[in-house]
Amino acid sequence: MNEDFKKSIAKNISEEEIADLKEWIVTVHNWEHPSSEDLVKISRLQQMILIKGFVDDQPARFELLDVAEMAGLSLHEFAMYCEIGNWIAMDRRFSGMDKEEVDEFYEGMEKLLDEINEDVAIEEIFTSSMNIAVERIDEINELNNLFYEK
């Protein structure tokens, strides 16, 4: 396992911010009509929980399930809102950059992905995470079927 890689991404985690966002999420009453800021915040919380799970080598899915439940959102809605929030956050980040800087960002991303693909240990972790995610989706589908059957 590449500990340097873990250390580098661990810097992005703030336990205090996670706690603050969890407090905030229960105060949002109307998830039917969220604002763009709501989606940026919920995606930020999701990202930090995922990174924390990766760094601690523990699955983040149960914490994410808790967060979805705290928000009163189905898992599908939660995942969709987080995805949109990520896009908005990315656009906000790029808004202060010129085209060359954005190009550099994407070149850096592609380079990082290539490095990850070449690092067998990290690739194994990602493969394992993906397999767990697929298993989890199957479990959720089974649970959803049970609920709908009722």
Partner 1 sequence: MEKEDYIVILKKRLREKAKQFSKITGSQFARPQTVIDLWQFLSDIKTVCALTHGNYPMMIDTYAGLAGVDKDDLMAYASYGEWIALDRSTRSMESDDYDDFWGNPENQPNILIAPVKDDNVYNEIELLNEMWEL
Under the rule (CB under 8 A), what is the footprint of partner 1? 32-37, 39, 83-84, 87-88, 90-92, 94-95, 102, 106, 109-110
| Span between the terminal Cα atoms of the chain, in Å | 45
Are the beta carbons of 92 and 39 closer than 8 angstroms?
no
Tokens of 95: 């808004």
Are the beta carbons of 67 and 46 closer than 8 angstroms?
yes
